[in-house]
Amino acid sequence: MSNSTKSTMYIPTYEDVIVAHERIKPYIHKTPVLTSTRLNEMTGAELFFKCENLQKAAAFKVRGACNAVFGLSEEKAKIGVATHSSGNHALSLSYAAGQRGIPVTVVMPRTAPQAKKDAVIGYGGKIVECEPSTTSREAVFAEVVGESGADFVHPYNDPRVIAGQATCSKELAEQVENLDAVIAPIGGGGMISGTCLTISNIAPDVKIYAAEPLNADDAARSFKAGHIIADDAPDTVADGLKVPLKDLTWHFVSNHVTDIFTCTEEEIVDAMKLVWKTMKIVIEPSSAVTVACILNNPEVFKGKRVGVIITGGNVDLDKLPWMKN
């Protein structure tokens, strides 16, 4: 696979996914698929939760990050990698760079959860803070890369990253037979693009749904409008889903996604607490968006075997969204 370039958009293939999976296997978990009788009863569907909250760095993003980092030449690797991220990509890239022993710098909104900042530093990453808007983030980042010459690993609009994320639904399809649908959260679209890349190749009859907070519904509006609509600084408890689609992820979303559903902030928090309570796993708000959207659209999922991507588990245990502070 050629590296990401701005001028000519390289669209990753399923061959790239196979290569990615072999490359990253030593550094990631094959995460378990969990089921819940209670949630099946509540939704009328058979839900198969692909638990990337139990992944290294507690997020699927370690897949794309490892694929990018371990695909670098020795020469490029020495200079290091850099990125901007609302959180999980930052700590995943830090984890990946730590595994290879190369430098990593991340530009991060100053409002990002402390737990995520601590994790980045714990993996040996260097943090440069920016304001919580896409504009500020990109400006600060340009400076950082200009100075260091580090390889930019975009959190989602990068073919190496998308091929890496695509290994998640590759595993899911190996773990669960005869799925009717897969649903994943959508922010910038990295996970959903990886899902499209895999599923459209190996199981083209499986429907692909995306789930998005109503408060940051730029992907749903883009999907309806037929072109990318980007909001600068949407506000949602699902802090991983604030970023807009880009050309590469739009390619996959516009070609392969069946529908994009939305849910309110209250529905996200309720779904998050429901999963903690019934499944006994710690998931972050962004991961609860899929469950909220399934509960909002029972007619779509009833009687279906549905893969549900639980994207991550990085939350601040001292600031849970259902607790009064």
Give the residues lining the site for a second copy (CB under 8 A): 32, 34, 37, 53-54, 56, 58, 115, 273, 276-277, 279-283, 313, 317-318, 320, 322-323
Closest approach of Cβ 290 to a second copy, in Å? 17
What are the angstrom distances between the C-alpha of 73 and each of 28, 149, 151, 165? 21, 15, 11, 21
Rank residues 178 and 317 by Cβ distance to a second copy and give the closer one. 317
Closest approach of Cβ 172 to a second copy, in Å? 16
Of 220, 258, 259, 217, nearest to 238 by C-alpha is: 217
Rank residues 24 and 58 by Cβ distance to a second copy and give the closer one. 58
Three-state DSSP at 72 gives: coil
Closest approach of Cβ 11 to a second copy, in Å? 33
Rank residues 13 and 175 by Cβ distance to a second copy and give the closer one. 175
CB 248 within 8 A of CB 162: yes
Rank residues 100 and 273 by Cβ distance to a second copy and give the closer one. 273
CA dist 91 and 191 (Å) reads 16
Closest approach of Cβ 232 to a second copy, in Å? 31
Of 132, 90, 87, nearest to 315 by C-alpha is: 87
Q: Is 164 exposed, middle or buried (0-12, 13-18, 19+ CB in 10 A)?
A: buried
Rank residues 199 and 279 by Cβ distance to a second copy and give the closer one. 279
First to last CA, the chain: 48
What are the angstrom distances between the C-alpha of 283 and each of 205, 253, 270, 297? 29, 24, 12, 21
Output the CA angle 306-303-274, nearest 5 degrees.
60
Rank residues 56 and 137 by Cβ distance to a second copy and give the closer one. 56
Rank residues 220 and 275 by Cβ distance to a second copy and give the closer one. 275
Q: Is 163 exposed, middle or buried (0-12, 13-18, 19+ CB in 10 A)?
A: buried
Closest approach of Cβ 36 to a second copy, in Å? 10
Q: Tell me the angle at which helices 14-24 and 190-202 cross, rounded to the nearest 10 degrees.
A: 110
Closest approach of Cβ 124 to a second copy, in Å? 14
CA dist 227 and 223 (Å) reads 7
Residue 304 is which amino acid?
Answer: K
Rank residues 56 and 61 by Cβ distance to a second copy and give the closer one. 56
Closest approach of Cβ 195 to a second copy, in Å? 21
Closest approach of Cβ 269 to a second copy, in Å? 11
